[in-house]
């Protein structure tokens, strides 16, 4: 590991920040530690209510210091408290699933992840105040170099078995080889830091939103108070979720933003009008939702957990249509190729497709032979996602 603030030759500094390059990096390095945590799972009780930094620049430095030290917990603690709370809920579920399918090694130390070697060098930055308490930190220069030693990674038994199977079918001369170094150039990336009242912290959601704004052509001005979309809830938890499902299927971004809670959805409310304009330029949604039956479990006076008992999701494009039917803890997927796709098949391809079963079923406790299948099923199963609904101001 190295000193992230070590000097770099003057000729390597970039005087002008090019925000157009931000899309391909889009806070990827800043969130790398978070992705590592989500991939392996960990005890979220390890997170602490860390104090913020003394300045926006120091907040970003703290984040990259944690990345440089392979300290995944430090990465999460560098985020603003609201985002830490959101991540804590997500990782609670991720931890249970990773343990179930054998992705997690019980000896995993998230304070110093074995098998990863990450070096952050030459950070140089400038700042721009977006609004009181919100500052953009533009990375003028810097690099992140990473490498992984596969045999030292704190992977669980399922991943180890998959690695062994892969090696059995590979060239013996390649056994034990690790991936080469990956280099990420940080110059041109914009981070956002917020004053939480206890110091400055990095906002991943704010950073993503800012890079999206700057990537528009022409880039609109930073949203003012009159541009924000105010929160507007629903009369009860079930209606809130149904409204969100309908809005998502119809690409009604404004309604989705309205349903976001004030604190956790601060970034969405701030950038809401820009998101609405961007969605207006998108193609018409091809998603249909039907047969939605929900269950509501109270979580105290002002919170409830809403889950789907049954739901059918149908979506498609010019290549075909996929229908996902969720019921009794299982999802059945049926894919139907379009006439255009079938017409383009050769006789050999058509003969092969006739023997292909377009229907596939998996259940919530399935892992099959693939170690990641449990997590994959959570990602694509329409009934596997639970939604926490909160009451604000009645």
Q: What tens digit of pLDDT does each residue of 317-374 get?
A: 888 898 989 998 888 889 888 888 888 888 888 887 777 778 888 776 665 434 344 4
- Look at residue 196 and give its three-state secondary structure: coil
The predicted model scores a pTM of 0.68
What percentage of the chain's residues is helix, strand, coil (to nearest 5)? 35, 25, 35
Ranges of beta strands (E only) in 284-371 are 287-298, 303-317, 320-327, 330-337, 359-363
How many C-alpha atoms does 43 have within 13 Å on its Cβ side? 9
pLDDT along the chain (394 residues), means of 10: 46 40 35 36 43 92 88 84 76 60 57 69 95 96 82 62 64 52 88 95 94 90 92 94 90 92 91 86 73 92 90 88 89 88 85 80 60 43 73 75
Residue 306: beta bridge partners?
Answer: 296, 387
Is the Cβ–Cβ distance between 154 and 105 less than 8 Å?
yes
Is the Cβ–Cβ distance between 377 and 364 less than 8 Å?
yes
Is the Cβ–Cβ distance between 83 and 34 less than 8 Å?
no
Distance from C-alpha of 279 to C-alpha of 276, rounded to nearest angstrom: 5
Residue 18, C-beta contacts closer than 8 angstroms, at least 6 positions apart: 187, 188
Q: What tens digit of pLDDT does each residue of 100-150 get?
A: 655 655 555 555 556 667 889 999 999 999 999 999 999 999 998 887 666
φ, ψ of residue 102 to 5 degrees: the values are: 80, 30
Cis peptide before 25 (omega within 30 of 0): no
């Amino acid at each position: 590991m190295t000193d992230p603030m070590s000097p770099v030759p003057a000729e390597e500094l970039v005087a002008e920040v090019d925000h157009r390059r931000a899309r391909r990096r889009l806070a990827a390095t800043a969130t790398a530690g978070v992705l590592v945590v989500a991939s392996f799972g960990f005890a979220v009780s390890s997170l602490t209510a860390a104090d913020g930094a003394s300045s926006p620049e120091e907040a970003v430095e703290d984040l990259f210091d944690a990345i440089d030290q392979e300290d995944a917990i430090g990465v999460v603690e560098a985020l603003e408290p609201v985002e830490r709370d959101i991540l804590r809920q997500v990782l609670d579920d991720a931890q249970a699933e990773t343990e179930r399918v054998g992705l997690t090694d019980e000896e995993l130390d998230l304070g110093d992840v074995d098998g990863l070697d990450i070096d952050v060098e030459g950070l140089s930055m400038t700042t721009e105040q977006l609004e009181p308490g919100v500052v953009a930190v533009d990375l003028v220069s810097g690099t992140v170099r990473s490498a992984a030693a596969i045999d030292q990674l704190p992977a669980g038994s399922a991943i180890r078995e998959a690695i062994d199977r892969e090696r059995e079918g590979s060239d013996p001369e390649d056994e034990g080889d690790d991936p080469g170094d990956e280099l990420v150039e940080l110059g041109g990336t914009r981070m956002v830091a917020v004053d939480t009242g206890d110091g400055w912290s990095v906002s991943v959601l704010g950073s993503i939103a800012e890079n999206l704004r700057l990537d528009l052509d022409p880039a609109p001005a930073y949203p003012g108070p009159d541009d924000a979309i105010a929160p507007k809830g629903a009369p009860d938890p079930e209606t809130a979720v149904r409204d969100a499902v309908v809005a998502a299927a119809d690409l009604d971004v404004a309604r989705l933003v309205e349903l976001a809670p004030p604190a956790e959805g601060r970034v969405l409310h701030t950038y809401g009008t820009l998101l609405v304009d961007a969605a207006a330029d998108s193609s018409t949604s091809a998603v249909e939702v039907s047969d939605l039956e929900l269950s509501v479990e109270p979580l105290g006076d002002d919170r409830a957990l809403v889950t789907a008992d049954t739901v059918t999701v149908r979506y498609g494009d010019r290549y075909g249509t996929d229908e996902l039917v969720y019921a009794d803890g299982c999802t059945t997927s049926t894919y139907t190729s379009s006439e255009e796709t079938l017409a383009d098949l050769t006789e050999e391809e058509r003969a092969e497709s006739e023997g292909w079963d377009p229907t596939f079923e998996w259940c919530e406790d399935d892992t099959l032979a693939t170690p990641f299948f449990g997590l994959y099923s959570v990602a694509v199963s329409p009934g596997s996602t639970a939604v926490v609904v909160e009451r604000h101001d009645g």
